[in-house]
Amino acid sequence: MKAGKKPLDPVVKAGLGVLFGAFCLIGFGMFLSRPDRTIPPYSIGAQEGTVVAVHLPPWTSDPEIESLIRRFGLVGRTTKDFGPLKIRPTTPDNPKGGYQQLFLLIFSDHTWAEPDNLHRYLDGRTHQIADPFL
């Protein structure tokens, strides 16, 4: 006599459902939080007032740097919300918003983007920027 297939226990079904759901949730979350590939990878090194030091890898090409500058310019001309781009408010006390002025310094050497070096670099600066979103 041939025995039929035994149905799965409800606990096993629940466990498989949780396992499958977890994999789907992780995969969907990774898809939604994927990095923006239209701009090169960058990190914010230091901020001093309205000046922000940005570090790019040394192998970043000129078109990639241009795309990053264009992205910052686009945000500056439209929403002026640089929070999603990892920048803290540069003018926090301004009633018009926290990002009324922003001056980017892009470095390929990460040591130049450190707070102490940025401060020394800015001490040697002799002029102010007239329009930060050109």
Residue type, 51: V
Give the pLDDT of residue 102.
87
Token pair in block for residue 46:
């230091």
Give the pLDDT of residue 132.
54
Domain coordinates of the chain in residue numbers? 7-36, 43-123
Q: Which residues of the chain are under the pLDDT cut of 50?
A: 126, 134
Give the pLDDT of residue 67.
93
Give the pLDDT of residue 92.
85
Q: Compute the distance between CA of residue 129 and CA of residue 80 in angstroms, rounded to an integer.
A: 17
Give the pLDDT of residue 124.
76
For residue 89, what are the CA distances in angstroms to 3, 92, 113? 71, 5, 18
Burial 41-71 (b: 16+ CB within 10 A, else e): ebebbbbeebbbbbbbeeebeeebbeebeeb
